[in-house]
Amino acid sequence: MKDVSTLASLAAVFAQLSLLAFGGTNSVLPEMQRQVVQVHPWVTAQDFAALFALAQAAPGPNMLVVTLIGWRVKALPGALVATLSVAGPSSVLTFVATGVWHRFRDARWRRLVQAALMPVTAGLVMASAALLIRTTSIGWGAAAITVIAVLLFLFTRLHPLMVLAAATALGALGVLA
Amino acid sequence: MSDAPQRPSLIALFLGFLTVGMFGFGGVLPWARRMAVEQKRWLSATEFTDMLGLCQFLPGGNVMNVTVALGARFHGIPGAVTAFVGLMAAPVACVIALGVIYDRYAQVPTVRHAFAGLAAAASAMVLANALRIAAPLRSRPVGLAVAVATFLAIAVLRLPLALVLVAMTTVSTLLTWRMAR
Q: Is A4 exposed, middle or buried (0-12, 13-18, 19+ CB in 10 A)?
A: exposed
> Does B94 score more than 50 pLDDT?
yes
Range list of H helices, chain A: 2-20, 29-33, 45-57, 65-104, 108-136, 140-155, 160-172
> Does A104 score more than 80 pLDDT?
no
In this prediction, residue B2 carries a pLDDT of 43
Residues 6 or more apart from B35 whose CB is under 8 A from it? Answer: B16, B17, B19, B20
For residue B131, how many C-alpha atoms fall within 13 Å in the half-sphere facing its CB?
14
Domain ranges of chain A: 2-106
Average predicted confidence (pLDDT) for chain B: 88
Domain ranges of chain B: 1-105, 108-137, 140-181
CA angle A153/A156/A158 to nearest 5° reads: 75
Comparing A19-23, A58-62, A76-80, A117-121, which segment has the lowest mean pLDDT? Answer: A58-62
Distance from CA of B77 to the nearest CA of A (A): 8
> Does B88 score more than 80 pLDDT?
yes
ipTM of the complex: 0.86
> Does B4 score more than 60 pLDDT?
no
| Residue B3 pLDDT grade (very low, low, confident, very high; cuts 50, 70, 90) | low
Q: What is the pLDDT of residues B6-40, one digit of tens each?
A: 789 999 999 999 999 887 766 688 788 889 988 89
Cβ atoms within 10 A of the Cβ of B77, count? 12
Average predicted confidence (pLDDT) for chain A: 89
User: DSSP readout, A123-139?
Assistant: HHHHHHHHHHHHHH--S
CA angle A61/A69/B56 to nearest 5° reads: 30
In this prediction, residue B107 carries a pLDDT of 87
Model pTM score: 0.85
In this prediction, residue A38 carries a pLDDT of 93
Alpha-carbon span A155 to A176, nearest angstrom: 24
Q: For residues A84 and A12, is the Cβ–Cβ distance under 8 A?
A: no
Considering CB atoms only, which of A67, A121, A171 is closest to B117? A171
- Interface size, chain A vs chain B, as Cβ–Cβ contacts under 8 Å: 346
Give the C-alpha distances (Å, rounded to integers) separating B13 from A87, B4, B153: 18, 18, 42
User: DSSP readout, A36-54?
Assistant: IIIIS--S-HHHHHHHHHH
Is B136 part of the contact surface with chain A (CB cutoff 8 Å)? yes
Contact (CB<8Å) A123/B146:
yes
Alpha-carbon span A90 to A93, nearest angstrom: 5
Q: Which of B73, B127, B137 to probe by mutation at the A interface, max A CB count within 10 Å?
A: B127
Q: What is the pLDDT of residues A125-164, one digit of tens each?
A: 899 999 889 888 888 999 999 999 999 999 998 888 899 9
Q: What is the pLDDT of residues B129-181, one digit of tens each?
A: 889 889 889 888 999 999 999 999 999 998 988 899 899 999 999 998 888 77
Nearest to B150 by CA among B134, B128, B132: B134
